[in-house]
Amino acid sequence: MTTQSPQSPAIPTDRLALIKPIALVVLLAVALAVPSAAPVLFPGTAIMAIAVFTVLYAACASAWNIFSGYTGYIALGHAVFFGSGAYALAIMCKGWHVHSDYGPLLLLPLCGVIAAIIAIPVGIISLRTRGHTFVVITIATFFIFQLLAYNLRFITQGSAGLELPIPSWSGAAFDPPFYYTGLLILLLAVGASWWVRRSKYGLGLLAIKDDEDRARGLGVRTGPSKLLAFTLSAFFVGMLGGLWAYYIESVFPNSGFDALFDVAIALMVFLGGLGTLAGPILGALILIPAQQYVASDRTLTSWYLILYGALFLVVILLLPEGILPTVRKRLIQWRGRRPATGAAPGATPGAFPGGPPRSGPPGRVAPVSSDGGER
C-alpha cells in the first residue's frame, strides 16, 4: 500500500479556490481588451485577423470537445456542420436579402440550429458504431457533404461558391465585431462544456468514454446521451461556420467543407488536453497564431501542413494526454514527493486494523477501513 495519498494539499484549498476565479477574470479582461490593445502593441500587422481566427477555432475546439472529449468518440467530420453553417448563412442572406452589417451576425443562431438538425440523422447513423468504424464513418459523411456542395448547384452554385454580404466596416473597425462575436460564442461553448462536465449528464458521458457497456449497466441512456452531445457540439460549430463565412465573405465547397478543419481541431484539443475545459483553448492559442504566421509568409506557404504533422508526432510521443493533464499529473507527483502537511485528522495512512471486519448489530454499521488489501 502507498503510505501517503498523492492528493496531500501543498497549497491551502481556500487559496486554490480563489486563484481560479481571479485567473478567469484576468483572462476575460485580456480577451476583451485585445481589439483595443492589439493595434497599439502591434501596429501594421494582421494581428486582429489572427485574433479573430484564434477565438473562432478555440470555440470550434471547445465545441468539438463537448462531444469527442467527453465521450471518447473521435469525430473527424465536424467540417460537415462548419460548412453547413457557412452555406446556411450565405443562402439565408441571399434569399432574405440581408445586407445590414449586423444582420448576418443575428442569423448565426439559425445557422447553429440548421447544423444541429443535420447532426441528428448523421449522429443516429454514425453513433451506431464505435472506435475506428465511427471515425471512418464521420470522414465518409464529410466527403458526402463536400460532394453535395459541389453537385447541388441550384443551392450552392457548385464550385463557383456563394458570396456573402460585405459589411461597411473598414480599417481597424472591421475585425472587432467578428472578434467579439467569436468570443461570445467561445464563452457560450465553454459555458456549455463546463455545465456538461459538472452535470449528471456529463458524468454519464465520461462513463461512456471509459466503458460504454458498463455505463449502460448503471442506467446511463448511452444512445440519447451521445446524440445530444453530438448535436450540441454541431450547433456551436454551425454558428462558427456562419461567422467564418461572413468574415471571409464567401464560401466554396473545398473551403467550407475542408478536410483539414477536423485535423486542426483534433490537434488543438489533443495538444491542450482532451476532455478538459481549458485544453482546447490552449491548443488553439498555440496552434492558430503559429499556423496563421506560417501561412502568411509567402516563402513558407503550406508549411503549416508540415507543422501540423510535426505537432501531431510531438503530441503522440511526448504529450499523449495533452499539455494540461500532463502538467496536472506532474504537479500531483511533485506534491506527493513533498512532506505531507495536510493528512486528514485521525487518518493513519497504510495502517490496517487486521482481523476480520468489524460489524455491529443490524441497522448499525461499522465503517470499513480504507485498506482493501495489497495491490
Partner 1 sequence: MLLKLTNVVAGYGGGDVLQGVDISVERGSITCIVGPNGAGKSTVLRVVSGLLKPRIGQVVFNDRPIGGLSPRQILALGIVQVAQSHSLFPKMTVRENVRLGAFMLNDRALVNRRLAEVEALFPLVRERADERAASLSGGQQRLVEFARSLMLDPTLILLDEPSMGLDPKALRQVMGMVTTMRQTGKTVLLVEQNARAGLSISDHGIVMESGRVRLEGSHQEILSNPEISSLYLGGTIAGPARPTMP
For binding to partner 1 (CB under 8 A), which residues are involved? 1, 5-7, 200, 203-204, 206-207, 209-211, 214-221, 344, 347, 352, 354-363, 365-375
Q: How far is the CB of 332 from partner 1 (least distance, A)?
A: 9
Distance CA 58, CA 268 (A): 8
Q: How far is the CB of 206 from partner 1 (least distance, A)?
A: 6
Inter-residue contact 165 to 106 (CB < 8 Å): no
Q: How far is the CB of 226 from partner 1 (least distance, A)?
A: 15
Pairing of strands 162-163, 250-251: antiparallel
Closest to partner 1 by CB, 128 or 198: 198
Give the three cell numbers for residue 328. Answer: 496536472
Q: How far is the CB of 231 from partner 1 (least distance, A)?
A: 21
Distance CA 290, CA 144 (A): 31
Q: How far is the CB of 342 from partner 1 (least distance, A)?
A: 12
Distance CA 221, CA 234 (A): 20
Closest to partner 1 by CB, 14 or 374: 374
Place of cell 485521525: 346
Closest to partner 1 by CB, 195 or 352: 352
C-alpha 233: how far from chain center: 9
Closest to partner 1 by CB, 147 or 218: 218
Q: How far is the CB of 374 from partner 1 (least distance, A)?
A: 5
Give the burial class of 175: count Cβ atoms within 10 A of its Cβ; 0-12 exposed, 13-18 middle, 19 or more buried: buried
Q: Provide the 8-state DSSP code for 66.
A: I
Closest to partner 1 by CB, 44 or 363: 363
- Can you give the length of the chain in residues? 375
Q: How far is the CB of 7 from partner 1 (least distance, A)?
A: 6
Closest to partner 1 by CB, 339 or 373: 373
Inter-residue contact 239 to 110 (CB < 8 Å): no
Instruction: For residue 237, give every residue at least 6 positions away whose Cβ sits within 8 Å of its Cβ, in sequence order, or none.
Output: 60, 63, 64, 78, 81, 82, 85, 115
For 106-141, give one letter per residue: b (16+ CB within 10 A) or e.
ebbebbbbbbbebbeebbeebbeeeeeebbebbbeb
Closest to partner 1 by CB, 121 or 350: 350
Q: How far is the CB of 210 from partner 1 (least distance, A)?
A: 4
Closest to partner 1 by CB, 237 or 274: 274
